[in-house]
Structure 1
C-alpha cells in the first residue's frame, strides 16, 4: 500500500531499519494526533521487514487504556511469542527470575526493577544473534508505566544490536476507561534520547492522491468538498468516503451536513456502532477488557445478553479484526467510541461481567480488581482490599508505578479514613523508593490529615523526611523523625528504632550537635536497648568529647583526654563489629555502621562494609542505594593508596549513570545524577592529589551541577588538599576552619583532614591556630588505637612542638605507619622528617626517607608532593630523578563505558556479568571491547591481563 505524502516519515523509518539490519539499532517515536497515519507507518515498517527477508523477526504490541495500570501488560504482549522456557533459561539467572516475576510466572522481588529492563535487553540481544528484530509498539501513551520504563531502558541501548524499536504515540487523549487517572506517574511520552518524528497534515496534493487511491471516480465537486473539510487529515478523509453512498460519491445525492472531519471522528464511529445493535454490547465489553482474550470477552458479553455472532458482525462492519488470541479495534478511536458512547450503567455492567469471568478463571486477580474498581459507584472496602492486594503484587514484581496507582485508587475507595491513610502511605512509600519525591510528599501530607495513629504517622514521617533530605534540609528531616519517634518508644519499638537511625544520620549530616544529642537522648530511652540505638548516643558522646578536647586543648598541656571519649568509641566499635561479623541488619543499619567505622578511623571496617554493601547493591540491582555506597568505597580505596581501584569505581559510576540516564525521569534524586556526582567527586579528589586546579574545580562544579550541593561533604577537605599541595597554605587553613565551624559533627567528620590543617597552619606561620584541633585529634587518635591516626598525631606534634623532640616524634610516627596502610600519609611523614633532618644537617639519614617519599608520591600521581620531595633530594645532594614526562594514559582515549568495560574485563569478569553490572547487553560489551582494543594497542582480551599487571586498569 502506498503511503501518500509520507516520504519524509518513510525515509526516517527506512533509515532506522537499515541501520538496525547493519547491526546499529535504535528507536524512533512517531507522535501526533489520532488518525494522522502513525499506525499505517508501523504497518509499512512491518511490510518492509518482511520484504527484507524471511529472517527478520517482528514483535508487535498495542497499548490499551484498560491495561494502563496492569504491571508489564504491554511488555508481556510484545514478548509473548518468544517467551519460551528455553529462551528464559538462556538468560542469566537473576534476569530470568526478574522477567518471570514481572510476568507473574514466578516469585518476584522489588529489587528487580532495573533488572527487568536488562532482561528484556538481553532477550532481544539473544534473538538478534539469530535474526534481526523489529519491535513495533502502538499507542505508547497507554502503556503501563512499568512496560514504558523497561522499553525506554532498552531503547537507549540498541546501538550495537540488530534491533529496531518503532513506537507510535497519540497526543491529546480521551479518558481511560478501566484505569484510574494516576497523577504523578511518569509520562510515557517522556522518552529522553529517543528521536521523534511528527507526521503533519497531508499537503493538498498528497491528500488528493490518497483520496483518488481510495475512491477513484469521485464527482469533482464531492472530491473538492472532502479535501477542504478533511484539512489534510488522512483518517478523516478515508472515513468521509466510507460514510458516503454510491449516489453521494457520484454527486447525485446531497452530502451529509456533517462529515467525519477530525473533530467529529469519534462521533462518526459512535454512529456506526449505534447502527449495529447486535454488536454494541460485545464492542463495549471488548473496549473495557483492553487486551483480554476473545473467549473471555465473548463469555462476558454473553452474560450481558450478546449473541455469539456479535463480534463477527462487528468484524464484517470493519470495526474490529478477530484473531485466536485478541480482538483488534480498527483504530483506537473505535475503541474510545465503543466505551465512551455507552451508557454509564452499561459500562459498569461490562466491568462487572469481566470481573466475574476473570475471578471464576482464577488466573488474573489484579485485572479483576481493576474491573471491580471501574464498576464501583463509590467507596467499597471489598474492592479497596482487592486493589491493595494488587498494589502489593505489583510491588513484588518491581512494577512500582502500577503499585502506587493501585494503592492510590484503593485509598480513594476506602470508606474509613484510617484505611485511606494507610493506603496513601503505601503509595507514598513506593513513590519515595523510586525517587518521585514530590509526589511522595504530596501523598504523605494527604495521609497525615486522615490519621492520628502514631505508627502510621511515624511511617509517614520517614517519607516526609526523605523529601526534606533530598531537598537539602537534613535538620528539618531529623526533627520530623524525632517528633514521631518519641510517641512510639513504648508501643512500636521497631518503627521507633528505624526513625531514630534515620534521624541520627540526618542530624549528623546537618552538623547540628544539639540535634545529635537530642537523638541520643531519645534513643537512650528505648527499652530494651537495641544495638542500633547505641550508635546515636555514642555519636553524640563522641561529638561532645571532641568539643571538650578542643576547648581544653588550648589551655592545658598536655590536654587531658575528655571523659566519655573512650566509652563512645567503644560503643561505636561494638556496633560496627556486630554488623560486620554477626548481624548485618537492614541497608540503613549497614550504612550507619559504615558511618561509625569512619568515625572510628577503622579503614579495614569501612572497606569491608562498603565492599559488601556494594556487592549487595549490584547483585540486587538496587541502584537507588548504590551512589552513596560507591562513594564510601572509593574514599576507602583512596585512603589505602589505591587510586586505580578508586578510578575503576568512578568509571563504573559514570558508566552506570549513562546506562540509567533514560530510566523513568524522576522528580527526586535520580540515581543517574547521583552516580555522576560520585564519579565527579572521586575525580576531584584525584585531581587535588595531582595538583590539577582546573580539573579539581571542574569536577566539583560537575558534582554540584547534578546535586545542587556546591561541594558536597568532602568538598572543603578536597579543596584544602589542593591548596596545600600548591603552596596556598593560608587558603587551605581557612577552608578547613570554616568547615569545622559548622558544628561538632562537622569537626568530627573532618578529623582525617587534621594533618592538612596543622601543616597549613605551621607553613602559614600561625601554628597556634592548630592547637585546639590537634588536641582533639590527638585524644581521638589515642582512644581509637588506629596506627595511621597515631602516626599523623605524632607527625603533627613534631611540627608544632619543641624542636628537640621533633626527631623522636617523627621516628615514632614512622613506626606506627608501618602498621597501617595509608601510603600517602606515610610519604608525607617521610617528606617532613627528611626536611627536618636536612635542616639539622643529617643529610645521609634524610636521603632514603626522601627517596621513598618521592617514589610513593610518583606512584600515587601526587605531582606537587613529588616535586617537593625531588627538591629536597636535590638539597641533600642526591641525584634526584627529573620529573618524568606524564605517561600517556591509554584510557584517556576511551569513553566512560569503554573504560568501565575494559577494567572489569581485565579483572576477569565475563561479558555477561559485565553486562549485568553496567546495565548493558552482552553484545554491547563485546562491541566496547572491540572498539577499545585498537585504542589500547592490543589485539585480544588475553592482553588485558598485561595491562592489569602493569597497573594500568
Structure 2
C-alpha cells in the first residue's frame, strides 16, 4: 500500500463522527465511501478507526473491527469477510486461545472452511447447514428436483450470521464494522451484510464500507443502490483533492520545496490522491529535483521498471499475472529459476516501491514461500495490461500447472488453492479448457453443498459451460460435462425463472435446457436423457406456456419408464400431475391418485430417505388435497391437509410447510373458518420470516392474509388490507415465480374491488373520481393477467381475471362490457371444467350479476341456479354436520347465492 498522509477529508470525517455519535442512542446506519481507485477511501476508513481507538470520536467505548475484501489469491472464499468480522468481535471479549477451544469442542480440529468455522461460532447454524447440505446433495445428484426447498436455508443462514454480528452490541458498547473494498466481496457475505443493514435502525451498530464503482453494474452496486433507495445507507462520494489540500500534503511531506511544486502536482494529477503521492515520491527520489513529474500511474510504473534489469522485469510481469498478491515459489516455478534466486531478486525489487511483503493467504501459510503484494492495485493493473495477450495466456497456463503439481487430488486441495487454480485455468486458453470445465464444475458443487452459496455456484457453472462448449465436439466427455454443468445451473436458478425474458442473470433458460437435452441424447445415457427431458418440460412451462410443457413432461414420464429409473419416474409423474391440474383438474386428480398408489405400493420409494423423493411426495400430497378442494370435496381436502401439515411440522427442513399452510388456509376460509385460516397464514408467514429473504410463497400467503383483512367488518383491519396486499405484490415482483404471479395479481384486483366503496352523493366529484380510479386500477391488474395468460396457458387465472374485469366494469356502470367479460369466463369454465385456485360458484354468481345488470334476467337466473347447485353439491360432500352448517351459513358468498343473489 502506498503510504499517504491524511488531508482534506473534513466533511466525510464529520459525517462518520456523527454516525458514531448516534450509536449511543441505539440507532445505527450504513455509510458508503465511494470513489475511483486511489482516491483515499482506505485512508479515510483507517483514520476513522484510529480516531475511535484514540477516543477522538464519540462514543469512546466503541468496538471497531475491520476487514478487507481482496481480488487476490483464492478470491471468492465464501463468507470469508463475514467470518473475519465475527472472529474479531469474539477476540474483543474472549481469552487467548478461545478459537482453538471452540473448534475442538465442535469436533472440528484444524478448519480451513469458513462455513465450518461459522457453524462452530454461530449457535444452531451447523444443524441448519447439515440438513440443507443433505437435501442439496441429493437434489444435485438426481437432477430431478430444483433447489427451491433449499434456497431459503441460505437466506436463513445469512440471517443467523447477521444476528451473531449484531448480538454483542449495546448502547454502552456499540460496534463499528468496517469493510474496505466491498466491490470484491463474495455474494454470501454480501447477503449477510444486507441482513445486517436492514436491522441497523434499532441496533447500536454502524457499518462503514469503501466502494470503487466498476465500469459495469454488479450485484454489489445494485445492493448499494437498493440500500440508498430504501433510506438504509448514506453514500459519500470521495473526489480528487482540491489544490489547497495538495499544498497541505506537500507541506506535510517536505520542509523545503519549490513554491511551484504544489501547483504543478495539482495540474498533472487533478488531485487524484494516489497519483499525488506517487508524484511526490518520484520528486523525492530525484536527488537534484530536475526531472519531469509523471503525469500518470503508467509513467510511474515505467520509470520504476526502467531501474530493473531484464530478468527482474520478467519476474515482475509473471508476478502480475499471478495477481495483485503473489507467491515467490510460484513465480520461480513459472520463470524456471531457482527459488532462492527469485527470493533475492524480489527483495531487491521491493526497494523500488513496486511491491511489498504481504501476509500469505491461509492455504499457503504452511508453504515455504514469501508472499508479496503490489503497492497499489493501479500499479499491478498497469504491469498486467502492458503484457501481450499471449504472454498473459501462457503465463496463466504455467501458473495453473505449477499450482496443480502436487501429490494431492484437486478435490482435496484447500478451497483457496482450488479457486486460484480455476482462475488461471479459465485464462489459460484452449490448452486448459477440459481442466477449466472440470475445476469450475467441482467448485460449483462445493459452493452449493459446503456453504449453500448458490450465487457463487452459478458463477462457476457459467464458466464450466463456456469451457465445455469451447471444446471440440470430438473431445471425450464433452457432452457429459455440458449436461452436468447446465443441469446444475438450471437447478440452482430454477427458483428465479421468470418466463419469456432471460431472468436468471441473463440466461436463456429454455435454450440451455434444450442444449442439455441434445447433449444427453448424444451421450446415449437413458437416465440422463430422462432427467434432461424433465428439466426441459419445466423450462418450457415458464418460457412457452403450459401446453408445450405438458407435452414434454409426458415425454419425460415415458423416458423415465424406459430408463427403469423409479425415482425419476415418480418425480416426473408428480410434476406432470401438478401442472396438468392447471389445464384440466380431473386429469390432475387422476395423475396424482396414481402417484399416491405408486408411492404406497413400491417399498423402495416408501422406505427411502431421499430428500428429492420426499420433496416430490410432499408436493404431490398437498396438490392432491387442494385439487380435491377445488373439485368440491372440502371435507376430504381438509382432513388430508391437516395430516400433511402436522407431518411437515416434524420435518427438519419443513421447506414445503408454507405451501401446505397456504392450502389449508384456503380450505378453512372456504368452509367458513376465517380465524383458523388466519392462524395458518400467520404461522406460514412467521416461519418464512425466521428464515429471512423474499419468497414467492411468502408473498402469496401475505396476499391471502390481506384478503381475510379486507373481508373483515372491522374498519381498522380492512384498512390494513391495502398495505398488506401492496407488500405482497412488491414481493411477488421481486421473486416472480411464474405460477404465482397471476394468482397474487388477481388477489390484488379482488381486494381493490372489495375495498372500493361508492361515496355518497354529498362526498363530491373528487371522492367519486377516487372511487372510479380504484376500480380502473383493479381492471388494469386483471387485464395484465388476461394478456399474460394468453401466452402462459394458465387457464384458471384467465377465468379469474375475466370475472374480475366483469366486476370492475359493472361497478363502473358499464354492464354490457361486464356481461361480455363474465360470459367469456363462464364459456371457458364450461369448456375445461372445475379449475384449481378457482371457485366455480363465484364465477357463476358474478356472471349472473353481470347478466342481470345488462338486462337479461333469464340468463342471470339460470347462472344463479347453477351456482346454487355447485354450493349444495359441495355441502353434500362435507360429512361433518357442524362443518357443513358453517359452509352454508358462515361463508358470505354462499349465503348470497342461496338467498337468490340478494346482497347483504
Quick check: 1:439 aligned with 2:462? no
Deviations 1:362-411 (A, max 9, x none): 86454444444323442554553343232222111211122222233233
Q: Is the 8 A contact 2:22 2:28 kept in 1?
A: yes
Quick check: 1:531 aligned with 2:596? yes
Which stretch shows the higher mean deviation, 465-474 or 413-422? 465-474
C-alpha distance in structure 1 between counterparts of 2:203 and 2:239, whole Å: 31
Cross-structure match for 1:18: 21
Say if 1:269 and 1:774 are closer, same or farther in 2 by CA, change over 3 A. Answer: farther
Gaps of 5+ in 2: 91-98, 106-116, 139-149, 228-232, 363-370, 469-474, 498-502, 601-605, 734-740, 760-806, 812-817
Quick check: 1:322 aligned with 2:358? yes
C-alpha distance in structure 2 between counterparts of 1:272 and 1:658, whole Å: 61
Q: Is the 8 A contact 2:581 2:589 kept in 1?
A: no
Corresponding residue pairs, total: 732
Q: Is the 8 A contact 2:842 2:867 kept in 1?
A: no
Say if 1:648 and 1:588 are closer, same or farther in 2 by CA, change over 3 A. Answer: closer
Cross-structure match for 1:354: 403
C-alpha distance in structure 1 between counterparts of 2:279 and 2:311, whole Å: 22
Deviations 1:522-569 (A, max 9, x none): x69x9xx6437799xxxxxxxxxxxxxxxxxxxxxxxxxxxxxxxxxx
C-alpha distance in structure 2 between counterparts of 1:203 and 1:686, whole Å: 59
Q: Is the 8 A contact 1:269 1:337 kept in 2?
A: no
C-alpha distance in structure 1 between counterparts of 2:164 and 2:415, whole Å: 26
Shift of 1:427: 1.6
Cross-structure match for 2:642: 608
Match 1:412 to one of 426, 447, 466: 466
Q: Is the 8 A contact 1:754 1:777 kept in 2?
A: yes
C-alpha distance in structure 1 between counterparts of 2:517 and 2:447, whole Å: 24
Say if 1:246 and 1:284 are closer, same or farther in 2 by CA, change over 3 A. Answer: closer
Give SS of 1:786's match: coil
Q: How does 1:878-889 map to 2 (within 5 A)?
A: none
C-alpha distance in structure 1 between counterparts of 2:665 and 2:461, whole Å: 39
Shift of 1:237: 0.7
Say if 1:191 and 1:11 are closer, same or farther in 2 by CA, change over 3 A. Answer: same
Q: Is the 8 A contact 1:10 1:41 kept in 2?
A: yes
Give SS of 1:47's match: helix
Q: Over aligned residue pairs, what C-alpha RMSD do you find?
A: 5.3
Quick check: 1:192 aligned with 2:226? yes
Match 1:95 to one of 94, 107, 125: 125
Quick check: 1:634 aligned with 2:634? no
Cross-structure match for 2:705: 682
Say if 1:655 and 1:641 are closer, same or farther in 2 by CA, change over 3 A. Answer: same
Shift of 1:685: 3.7
Give SS of 2:202's match: coil
Match 1:495 to one of 568, 573, 580: 568
Give SS of 1:320's match: strand
Cross-structure match for 2:114: none
C-alpha distance in structure 2 between counterparts of 1:36 and 1:621, whole Å: 49
Q: Is the 8 A contact 2:537 2:549 kept in 1?
A: yes
Deviations 1:810-859 (A, max 9, x none): xxxxxx336676596378889999x99xxxxxxxxxxxxxxxxxxxxxxx
Match 1:426 to one of 465, 488, 504: 488
Q: Is the 8 A contact 2:78 2:188 kept in 1?
A: yes
Say if 1:88 and 1:358 are closer, same or farther in 2 by CA, change over 3 A. Answer: same
C-alpha distance in structure 1 between counterparts of 2:546 and 2:302, whole Å: 58
Shift of 1:192: 1.9
Shift of 1:737: 6.2
Shift of 1:24: 2.0
C-alpha distance in structure 1 between counterparts of 2:133 and 2:360, whole Å: 21
Give SS of 1:192's match: helix
Deviations 1:577-611 (A, max 9, x none): xx9xx977545334423433434323533542663
Q: How does 1:734-883 map to 2 (within 5 A)?
A: 739-743=825-829, 747-749=834-836, 754=841, 757=844, 766-775=860-869, 778=872, 782=876, 785-787=877-879, 816-817=881-882, 822=887, 825=890
Shift of 1:254: 2.9
Quick check: 1:242 aligned with 2:291? no
Q: Is the 8 A contact 1:23 1:160 kept in 2?
A: yes
Q: How does 1:47-62 map to 2 (within 5 A)?
A: 47-52=50-55, 53=60, 56-62=63-69
Q: How does 1:108-147 map to 2 (within 5 A)?
A: 112-128=153-169, 131-147=173-189
Q: Is the 8 A contact 2:27 2:202 kept in 1?
A: yes
Say if 1:324 and 1:713 are closer, same or farther in 2 by CA, change over 3 A. Answer: closer
Provide the TM-score with structure 2 as the length reference: 0.67
C-alpha distance in structure 2 between counterparts of 1:45 and 1:100, whole Å: 40
Cross-structure match for 2:620: 589
Deviations 1:124-144 (A, max 9, x none): 123335943332222222222
C-alpha distance in structure 2 between counterparts of 1:729 and 1:412, whole Å: 51
C-alpha distance in structure 2 between counterparts of 1:650 and 1:460, whole Å: 36
Cross-structure match for 2:787: none
C-alpha distance in structure 1 between counterparts of 2:555 and 2:616, whole Å: 24
Match 1:228 to one of 267, 272, 281: 267
Q: Is the 8 A contact 2:188 2:453 kept in 1?
A: yes
Gaps of 5+ in 1: 175-182, 536-574, 664-670, 789-815, 837-863, 869-953
Q: How does 1:308-347 map to 2 (within 5 A)?
A: 308-309=343-344, 313=348, 317-318=352-353, 319-323=355-359, 329-337=374-382, 339-340=384-385, 343-344=391-392, 345-347=394-396
Deviations 1:237-291 (A, max 9, x none): 111111235556x64x1315x4335xx3785598389579669748955973778
Larger Rg: 1
Cross-structure match for 1:390: 443
Quick check: 1:259 aligned with 2:353? no
Q: Is the 8 A contact 2:76 2:186 kept in 1?
A: yes
Deviations 1:422-445 (A, max 9, x none): 312212221224565352616435
Give SS of 1:439's match: coil
Deviations 1:328-383 (A, max 9, x none): 65333344456555642333333333344694898645444444432344255455
Q: Is the 8 A contact 2:73 2:416 kept in 1?
A: no
Q: Is the 8 A contact 2:122 2:161 kept in 1?
A: no
Give SS of 2:581's match: helix
